[in-house]
Chain A
């Protein structure tokens, strides 16, 4: 499978990365190179093979339902590019 310029632009949009026409063209070539490389996986017979969901065979650890975190709004917004009264601020979102 290979991608065209329109697909690259659509994927960039999905990934929320602005790309110039020139970048999109360059990426098209690069992505096709990589996709060509991974294409060899289609040779592998994977019939009846379970996809890997966890590399180590163990049961997932769980947590007790106890409140032990929070009350640190100052820490939460400490690195924010724009905040006000412990809220994060972003350009207005129109519903």
Chain B
């Protein structure tokens, strides 16, 4: 029983219900793993061992009483973006210093209602703005993966870098994450884990610190496709507190795992073959195509002509919404306040000290593109382009395509404090080039490991589905997972 932390959720659930293990044992194993690893990995910004053990004891009691929920006794990590009552909730920003909400996000409440145990809060890019987890006020997260024969610390991706690293390093059984432009799928791809961004409106945004409201969507990062399905089933709900949450029953996603994809039509968009893309990525993509073909899927070439405009449109829409969403951090009602000679001075000093460089940059861009005289040229045009991006997908689906296969990222994980990327924000933004279209169109997308590159680092494939057809993604991703195998980093920490 030394490797309790290597159990998947499905496996742990089976052992818990067979009473081979207890939730307290499982939880203690994770707490011990976190204590041993977190100083190095920095995946958690706040660990809540006492609360975790208390929840685990309650889970054990419910299991004993035959009242176990679907996630009973399963220890999870929670991205710092989710409000957790009485617990550190700071979006990894200095400006939310000391903030402990008196409320719980709908997603985490759903998880606790289903019996899950909270281990603590996970590191992330500040306000979910970033692709490397380096913009966190709490410092960067180290990717549990290292290149073969290298001691260089790599980023786990972002913004859900803490979630992906914690899952990959077995510091939790699964984690919540959020995805605005790729923040679930890119870190999942960088860490050899599975991450799904469900359809916009599938998970309630209530109690999740907002970055870009029309794009933000919560989802899980997990060890395998089945675990991701199990977690999403619990996270998703119809929530009257979020008017953008959709009135559709949540299906039993795990039931789709193992279903045949024979006869399914998989679209391969030519626009995702971008200039300068490493050959290894192209090879991975071809491998994915071959696996799906072998499983009986029909492969069709498709065109999504507005793909290249998704990222620039995103860098107008997301900062614009963010500039407004982050206006509430003004030093009046919560978080950091830096005193000033008058109210305006207080605002300006507080926000200057409280926001990091990337967040300020995006607030500035967002403020500028919404300002008088520029709205039509930037924001309105970007929202029109968004309509065109969505239409591209709709046309493909209308033509009979069931899902679309693409690479998840244009590269494997890069080094922490990469000078090239630090010097040019746009270069960093290009990490989201394959994932951001999905957010712009509100579609579901899953990243699943497809193999390792020549450095021995994980690479991911992305599947994009029709709105609210996450089941298609789970069964197709499972086919890839079966073919590619699962990937676990060698423990060096």
Contact = CB atoms under 8 A, between A and B. Distances in A.
| A joins B in a complex | yes
A55 B426 contact: no
A79 B99 CA distance: 6
A6 interface: no
Nearest to A77: B333
Nearest to A49: B384
B244 A79 contact: no
A76 B289 CA distance: 54
A22 B102 CA distance: 40
Contact of B334 (A40, A79, A91): A79
A49 B381 CA distance: 9
A60 interface: yes
A18 B387 contact: no
A49 to B, nearest CB: 4
Query: Lowest 9 CB-CB distances: which A-B pairs, in order?
Result: A55-B442, A51-B383, A79-B334, A81-B337, A18-B348, A18-B352, A46-B384, A38-B312, A16-B347
Nearest to A7: B368
B371 A14 contact: yes
Contacts, number: 172
Contacts of A86: none
Contacts of B341: 91
Interface string A1-42: 101000110011111111100000001001101110111111
B355 interface: yes
Contacts of B371: 11, 14
A75 interface: yes
Interface string A46-81: 100111111110101111000000001001111111
B243 A92 contact: no
A49 B390 CA distance: 12
Contact of A15 (B343, B346, B351, B388): B351
A44 B425 contact: no
Contacts of B351: 15-18
Given A17-B363, A79-B98, A56 B442 contact: yes
B340 interface: yes
Interface of B: 98-102, 199-201, 214, 240, 243-247, 306, 308-309, 311-313, 315-316, 323, 327, 330-337, 339-349, 351-352, 355, 360-361, 363-365, 367-368, 371, 374, 377-378, 380-388, 390, 424-426, 429, 441-442, 467
Contact of B200 (A39, A56, A78): A56
A31 B368 contact: yes
22 contacts: A1-B374, A11-B368, A16-B347, A27-B360, A33-B425, A34-B425, A34-B426, A38-B313, A40-B312, A41-B381, A42-B381, A46-B384, A49-B387, A55-B441, A55-B442, A61-B245, A76-B333, A79-B100, A81-B334, A91-B339, A92-B342, A93-B342
Given A38-B378, A41-B385, A49-B388, A90 B426 contact: no
Contacts of B330: 16
A32 to B, nearest CB: 11
Contacts of B313: 38, 41
Given A8-B364, A37-B315, A55-B441, A61 B346 contact: no
Given A31-B368, A55-B442, A72-B102, 8 more contacts: A8-B364, A33-B425, A42-B377, A61-B243, A61-B247, A79-B335, A91-B339, A91-B341
B220 to A, nearest CB: 20
Contacts of B426: 33-34, 37
Contacts of A82: 337
Nearest to B429: A37
A55 B180 CA distance: 13
A51 B384 contact: yes
B41 to A, nearest CB: 29
A52 B313 CA distance: 12
Contacts of B378: 38
Contacts of A55: 200-201, 214, 390, 441-442
B381 to A, nearest CB: 6
